[in-house]
Chain A
């Protein structure tokens, strides 16, 4: 059994930041493993630990900087990693889900996994679409927003729970191979052990470009033209109390008492 996990490096923006052209100024960005993908990696590694002969491979579309994030996933137990990057991808300011899915599908075709796990979404662009787009591109089954997985490798199916809105879960059987987009909270992602971090340094991280994958850059959609980026205007009309903690807590206490809160 082979499980392919997509791993994305995401950018978190500082509380105070500046926009430079059509992007947030690099000085205010911190890069990390996408939170949803952390759960997807954990789900794959837990399955591997509970079964024989399971290989976990990660795939990332991203620049060299992302190697640090990929090593995190390897340190948590993935066996090896593939990273795809190309000048044609670097030129795009914002990759659309279909373009990413097309690149990932080329890797998936080479790896031929039984199961593909992705995060539900990334924490920065938050399209929430790449996993399903990848399944559609590969013409295999999928389930989105999964918070429970029970794989029956013998039967070639997975019984999953999809987390719908309002505290309702849909129970769905999915034919394998399939793409499952993994929701946060499905497991408890581990911290990498020191031993895991050491081992990760010697695991294979295969870097390839579009030509290596047989993908012609000219045939990728690159569907987005980002024409503007700005800080949304605060819509709020909140009364903001100023001063030290004692003062502001005092103001809030007064409001709460007016509303009859906290009166024994």
Chain B
């Protein structure tokens, strides 16, 4: 019998979607392991968060009211203390920027193995975690010895938990050692606001690493022009400074939902897909037939973008 502790995530007063997905993943694992599902809520308006998180499958919610926003030193201490207090064998955290800012430290403090970015969890006399390896080209199964681990769970892989539960809600008796808090969050800053709002566009011509050189952007700019579409990009193009940040689609950029999204030379890494999977029609042009972008595309062309894109521009009189 092994209990599970799922750690909720919130930001600026709101629970993030992944928190409810963690409840689903945690409830499934707890059931398989024959244990209870505990949910940890740390910092912010913990009572209101606890209320929202009381969904089907949750047995107990533990709150630690300390500060408003995320601080990894506080999370490290609170989560490790709750894992010990509840006796939970498995700690589940989101595989988010903040999740990865504390989960490795919790694993170190508890001396438990850590597996990040899980896309599947199975339990059979121990935990086995499925995750991508080799840059997403393969999936592997990692079996863990022993009955304890910390796992970060990929967002949007599990459905959000629904329904109403009857969990007990307890203010946990966890004292935070302020001397061990070595980082101070001083504020937030919005970035990527620019002249163009790609999230408002009906048609996006989106370019990725496959374009190879900055000079080659001409061919996608020409296509966008004849289609009367807006130009957007995946992360590497913005990292290289070839297009401004306001053009970036994906986890750290904008979430877009156009009528038509044309992905050119974009492999479709999970961080990119998170930003465009809600598009009505997705078209992908890529030389790699195994590129993950084809998993979510409606239409695809497996060919050299340097031949297809000019031919398409020509079709529209360019």
Could you list which residues of chain A lie within 8 angstroms of chain B, going by C-beta atoms? Answer: 10-13, 15-17, 19, 22, 24, 94, 96-98, 101, 123-133, 135-137, 140-145, 159, 161-175, 178, 184-185, 188, 221, 223-232, 234-236, 238-241, 245-246, 248-250, 252-253, 255-256, 259, 261-262, 264
Interchain CA distance A241-B303 in the complex, whole Å: 10
A9 to B261, CA, bound (A): 35
Sorted nearest first, the 5 A-B pairs with minimum C-beta distance are A223-B113, A185-B239, A249-B311, A136-B108, A253-B315
> Whose C-beta in chain A lies nearest to the C-beta of B316?
A262
Question: Can you list 20 A-B pairs, Cβ within 8 angstroms, ordered by A?
Answer: A19-B138, A24-B137, A125-B133, A132-B102, A133-B105, A136-B108, A143-B101, A144-B101, A165-B97, A168-B189, A172-B186, A184-B235, A185-B238, A188-B241, A225-B143, A229-B133, A230-B138, A248-B303, A255-B283, A259-B281
- When C-beta atoms are compared, the residue in chain A nearest to B180 turns out to be A139
A136 in contact with B109 given A19-B138, A168-B189, A234-B294 (CB within 8 Å): yes
**B299 A241 Cβ-Cβ under 8 A:** yes
The verdict on A239 contacting B229 (CB below 8 Å), with A166-B252, A226-B140 known, is no
Q: What distance in Å separates the Cβ of A206 from its nearest Cβ neighbour in chain B?
A: 27
**Which one of A12, A125, A240, A259 lies within 8 Å of B259 (CB-CB)?**
A259
| Cα separation A13 to B298 with both chains bound (whole Å) | 26
Contact with A along B183-208 (1 / 0, CB 8 A): 11111111111000000000100000
The reply to whether the CB of B251 lies closer than 8 angstroms to some CB of chain A is: yes
Cβ contact of A168, chosen from B132, B133, B191, cutoff 8 A: B191
> Are A174 and B97 in contact (CB-based, < 8 A)?
no
Closest CB in chain A relative to B218 CB, distance in Å: 17
Give the distance in Å from the alpha carbon of A96 to the alpha carbon of B188 in the complex.
33
**4 further contact pairs, Cβ within 8 A, besides A142-B183, A236-B296, A249-B308:** A127-B117, A167-B254, A172-B184, A229-B138
Q: Tell me if B163 is interfacial: C-beta within 8 Å of chain A.
A: no
Of all chain B residues, which has the CB nearest A188?
Answer: B241
Known contacts A185-B238, A236-B295, A253-B315; decide if A225 and B104 are in contact (CB<8 Å): no
A15 touches B255 (CB 8 A): no
Q: Does B19 sit at the interface, judged by CB under 8 A? A: no
In residues 72-129 of chain B, which contact A (Cβ within 8 Å)?
72, 76, 95-98, 100-105, 107-109, 113-117, 128
Give the CA-CA distance A225 to B217 in the complex, in Å: 44
Q: Which residues from chain B contact A250 at a C-beta distance below 8 Å? A: 311, 315
* Known A15-B287, A221-B113, A252-B283; contact A123-B304, beta-carbon cutoff 8 A: no
Q: State whether B101 touches A145 (Cβ < 8 A).
A: yes
User: Are B138 and A238 within 8 A (Cβ)?
Assistant: no
**SS of B interface (majority):** mixed
CB-defined contacts of A131 to chain B, threshold 8 Å: 104
Asked if A136 and B105 sit within 8 Å, CB to CB, the answer is yes
Shortest C-beta distance, B195 to chain A (Å), equals 15
Residue in contact with B188 in the complex, picked from A170, A227, A238, A246, CB distance below 8 Å: A170
B228 at the interface (CB under 8 A from A): yes
Taking CB atoms, residues of chain B closer than 8 Å to A172 are 183-186
Interface positions of B (Cβ within 8 A of A): 11, 70, 72, 76, 95-98, 100-105, 107-109, 113-117, 128, 132-145, 182-193, 203, 226-229, 235-236, 238-241, 245, 251-255, 259-260, 281, 283-284, 287-290, 294-304, 307-308, 311-312, 314-316
Taking a contact as CB atoms closer than 8 A, the residue among A128, A145, A174, A252 that contacts B116 in the complex is A128
**Bound CA span A165–B252, Å:** 4
List residues of chain B with CB within 8 A of the CB of A185. 235, 238-239
CA–CA, A235 and B287, complex, Å: 18
Q: How far is the CB of B37 from chain A (nearest CB, A)?
A: 24
Interfacial chain A residues near B142, Cβ < 8 Å: 94, 224-227
Instruction: Give the distance in Å from the alpha carbon of A156 to the alpha carbon of B285 in the complex.
Output: 49
- Assembled-state Cα–Cα distance A224/B240 (Å): 35
B300 and A239 contact, CB distance less than 8 A: yes
A255–B114 Cα distance when bound, in Å, is 47
In the complex, the chain B residue whose C-beta lies closest to that of A24 is: B134
Which residues in B have their C-beta under 8 angstroms from that of A140?
Answer: 182
> How far, in Å, is B266 (CB) from chain A's closest CB?
14
**Given A94-B142, A167-B254, A227-B128, A173–B184 Cβ distance below 8 Å?**
yes
Task: Assess whether A124 is in contact with B133, with CB atoms less than 8 Å apart.
Answer: yes
Q: Is the CB of B128 within 8 A of A127?
A: no
What is the CA–CA distance of A261 and B145 in the complex, to the nearest angstrom? 55
Contact check, B100 vs A169: say whether CB atoms are below 8 A apart. no
Given the complex of chains A and B, what is the CA–CA distance between A96 and B150 in angstroms?
12
Q: Give chain A residues whose Cβ lies under 8 Å from the Cβ of B245.
A: 167
A212 to B283, CA, bound (A): 55
Q: A98 touching B107 by the CB < 8 A rule?
A: yes
Query: Do residues A261 and B100 form an inter-chain contact, with CB atoms below 8 A?
Result: no
A residues within 8 A CB of B239? 184-185
Among the listed B140, B228, B255, which residue makes an inter-chain contact with A264, where contact means beta carbons less than 8 Å apart?
A: B228
Q: Are A166 and B255 in contact (CB-based, < 8 A)?
A: yes
B269 (CB) vs chain A CBs: closest residue: A126
Contact A236 B294 (CB under 8 A): yes
- Identify the closest chain A residue to B187 (Cβ): A171
